[in-house]
Amino acid sequence: MLAQQATHIMAFECITSTKENPMTDQSSYTLKVEGMSCKHCEATVTEAARSVAGVTAANVDLEAGKVTVQGGEPEAVIQAITEAGYTASLP
C-alpha cells in the first residue's frame, strides 16, 4: 500500500513539473520601440511592459529604441506599449 501511494505521489509530481504555463515562461525577447525620446518615455514603456501578466522584468535601452522583456506574451506587451502611445514590434 505504501509503495502504491509513493507511485501516485511521484506520478503527480512528474505531471505538475512538466506542465507548461505560458504565464510563467521566463524567456526573454527584445522589442523595437519607436517614439521614445526621454527618461519619461523610458519609464512609461517600462511601466507598460511590466503591467502585462507574466512579465517579470523590462529593461529599456532608450538610445537603441528597444526594450528587453522577460516573461509574458510578446503580443500582449506590444499592445500595452502601443496603448501607452508608442509603436512597438518584434524586430
More confident residue, 32 or 5: 32
The three grid cell numbers given for residue 86, joined into one nine-digit string: 508608442
Based on the structure, what is the number of domains in the chain?
Answer: 1
| β-sheet bridge partners, residue 32 | 66, 89
CA distance 34 to 3: 60
32 located within any domain: yes
Range of the domain at 39: 21-89
Q: What is the pLDDT of residues 14-47, one digit of tens each?
A: 332 233 444 444 699 999 999 999 999 999 999 9
Task: Return the CATH number at 69.
Answer: 3.30.70.100
12 located within any domain: no
Which of 62, 19, 69 shows the shortest CA–CA distance to 43? 62
Q: What is the pLDDT of residues 54-91, one digit of tens each?
A: 999 999 999 999 999 999 999 999 999 999 999 999 99
65 located within any domain: yes
For the question of whether the overall pTM of this predicted structure is more than 0.75, the answer is no
Strand 87-89 and strand 55-61: the pairing is unpaired
The three grid cell numbers given for residue 55, joined into one nine-digit string: 512579465
Element of type H or E holding 36? none
